[in-house]
Amino acid sequence: MTRGEVGFQAPRGQFEISKVAIIDLGIGNLFSITCALKKIGLEAEVTSSKQSLPDVDAVVLPGVGNFKEGSWNLRLLKPKIAQLVKSGIPLFGICLGMQLLFEDSEEGPGKGLSLLEGKVLRLPQQVKTPHMGWNTLKTVKSCELLDGISENAYFYFVHSYYASPTDGDVVVAETDYGLNFASVVASKNIYGAQFHPEKSGEPGKQILRSFVKIVKR
């Protein structure tokens, strides 16, 4: 099995099936993350940003692309997402989805979900953008999302901007690329990863397994 392949199958009966809504912002291929979540015991249902969110056990907000377009496409779901998060439903933002957890971005106009305080900044000029390829995490705070992840594990990144939280206490892991940026964040039932776990081989599958445990606890 090579990096990026999805091959983990939860043993039958190990988990009760929980339902997760994957929000389609219309700017990314959701096939990989949908398949990955289904194979680890979640009933994954893609929900258009123009639809109302159903009652679910978790929400996954993936995305590749522009913050302005993402925030615009997300605007109709913001109240429902805020309501679900307030009720304790786990929310996992991936790549652009993690950036949309914050308030705004240097990439362009538009407002994020503002579930976490801070803004999204451009990576330094001295590094090649986008930051594309494999890189490691440096854990700065214990978090169940990173259970079983070693310091030398590699994850797959594709981004030109990074989240800069106002409250450093939400930063769980950092990655070095011209500077140390927040690559994993967590606050109560809100989680975010700047990399793509569904494209990150075995370490990425372990992240998703940990998210399943969070959803089912």
From 5, 16, 198, 202, the catalytic residue = 198
Percent of the chain with pLDDT over 70: 92
CA–CA dist 59, 50 (Å, integer): 15
From 35, 95, 131, 144, the catalytic residue = 95
Q: Contact at 8 Å (CB) between 92 and 42?
A: no
Percent of the chain with pLDDT over 90: 80
pLDDT at residue 16, rounded to an integer? 59
**Domain edges within the chain:** 18-216
CA–CA dist 57, 107 (Å, integer): 32
Residue of 202 and 16 predicted with greater confidence: 202
33 pLDDT exceeds 50?
yes
Catalytic residue list contains 43? no
Q: What is the DSSP string of 100-169?
A: TTSSEETTBS-----SSSEEEEEPPTTS-SSEEEEEE-EE-S--GGGTT--TT-EEEEEESEEEEESSGG
Assign domain 18-216 to its CATH superfamily: Class I glutamine amidotransferase (GATase) domain (3.40.50.880)
Ramachandran category for residue 39: left, alpha or beta (phi over 0 → left; psi -120 to 50 → alpha): alpha
Query: Which residues lie closer than 8 Å to 27 by C-beta, 6 or more apart?
Result: 63, 64, 65, 66, 69, 70, 73, 96
Q: Which structure tokens are listed for 68? A: 């302005």
Q: Which tens digit of pLDDT belongs to each residue from 110-169?
A: 999 999 999 999 999 999 999 999 999 999 999 999 999 999 999 999 999 999 999 999
Q: Sheet holding 138-139: strands in order across?
A: 42-48, 18-24, 58-61, 91-94, 190-193, 180-187, 171-176, 138-139
Average pLDDT in the chain: 90
Pairing of strands 58-61, 131-136: unpaired
Backbone angles phi, psi at 78, to 5 degrees: -55, -50
Q: Which tens digit of pLDDT belongs to each residue from 61-92?
A: 998 889 999 999 999 999 999 999 999 999 99
From 131, 143, 159, 196, the catalytic residue = 196
Residue 40 has what DSSP assignment?
T
Catalytic residue list contains 131? no
CA–CA dist 67, 108 (Å, integer): 7
Q: Contact at 8 Å (CB) between 113 and 81?
A: yes
Catalytic residue list contains 95? yes
